[in-house]
Amino acid sequence: MAIEMQAPKGTKDMLPEDAYKWQYIEGVFRNVAKTYGIREIRTPMFEHTELFLRSVGDTTDIVQKEMYTFNDKGDRSITLKPEGTASAVRAFVENRLFNEAQPTKLYYVTPAFRYENVQKGRLRQFHQCGIEVFGSNAPSMDAEVIAVAMDTLKKLGLKSLSLNINNLGCPECRPKYNEALKKFLQENYDGLCDTCKSRFEKNPMRILDCKEKKCHEITKNAPIILDYVCEECGDHFGKVKEYLDILGLPYTIDPGIVRGLDYYTKTIFEILTSDFTVCGGGRYDKLIEELGGPDMPAVGFGMGIERLIMTLEKEKIEIPKETLFDLYIGARGEAEGKFAFKLANDLRGLGVKCEINHMGRSIKAEMKYANKLGAAYTTILGEDELTNKKINLKRMSDGEIFEVSLDNLEEIAKVVR
């Protein structure tokens, strides 16, 4: 009996004809990161569950509803990585990078896993790129992190971008806000969803992030945290705005932003298009200490690559395709085929992307196949070409012919690249 094999719900195969989209976005992001002196970090795909309970927060949707958690053969609780920040902080602490000169600027491109309701733009395995900067509490660093995100999105071709910012305060001033928020919510407690009722005592701010319609209606007139922040947090936020003004980055103050993770303090931000939130991040000055490191500030952001692809397609921004082959080499006979095999290998050594006939096709079928592959140039090797040591390179875009010597591989490479 045949077994029907399908990808698990919420996952998607990245086929060769689509992979270039991920590669392009990752390439743009990596290049922008490098201009800011940000270095790559790669962390494991899974971590001890306790890491995410302590960092992301046990009252968040991610921990309460979305984590892929299991016990391994050693009966240890393991969780597939739901986001990139916690792992980066764990690596920073474990490898004692805090002993190096600061700030430490890191970027990552990673798969992430969340058990979500599958819908357009939301998968259970997705890909995220982000940066984390450790060691600086300067408001200029908040603005620089936002600038990295905006630069990346603009270089991808997105134009109608909105930057929304807020200030979540710190452990000194947030308790005052939580008390005011609880007092407001108490009057409508019975109308909250069961999840938000469980958050009421421990973390009432999480209720502001609930996606349930009835909770959203209850909280739309809730107290604003900006009215409760301490002098230090207010001063920091004011300077962040000054640095954004210096960079010429317009912004909107949105008191409704709380983000979906517990570790944020002070500055938080979201970048939106007309339809989607494409980036979110902020400052998290206590997380390093909570995970066993020194008292050290941090700030960063994350972007979902699938969400970016969907946004680019919706805005009809074409992601450029890379030429698969610079040159397709056809051959008329067995001797010519062996020569083509060697020639292609030699040209690959010079960085030329080559393909030859591995399927026994006729010359006509070879050229049709080369055209289907999108080869930039083609050539056909026959007895005359091997005798005269010359070949004709045909540019497929306009049919122009270039005669070159088979003894001059550098010239062939120069023409076709």
Q: Which two tokens stand for residue 180?
A: 């005011």
- C-alpha distances (whole Å) from 397 to each of 3, 257, 401 are 46, 51, 11
d(CA 77, CA 36): 37
d(CA 357, CA 339): 12
Query: In one letter, which amino acid is 153?
Result: L
60 labelled ligand-binding: no
264 labelled ligand-binding: yes
369 labelled ligand-binding: no
d(CA 164, CA 159): 15
125 labelled ligand-binding: no
Residues 6 or more apart in contact with residue 366 via CB below 8 angstroms: 328, 330, 357, 380
Residues 6 or more apart in contact with residue 321 via CB below 8 angstroms: 20, 374
d(CA 394, CA 384): 17
Radius of gyration for the chain, computed over Cα atoms and rounded to the nearest angstrom: 28
323 labelled ligand-binding: no
83 labelled ligand-binding: yes
284 labelled ligand-binding: no
The sign of the torsion formed by the CA atoms of 298, 83, 119, 303 equals positive
411 labelled ligand-binding: no
114 labelled ligand-binding: yes
Q: Which two tokens stand for residue 346?
A: 């030699």
Annotated binding site: 83-85, 114, 128, 132, 259, 263-264
Annotated binding site for L-histidine: 83-85, 114, 128, 132, 259, 263-264
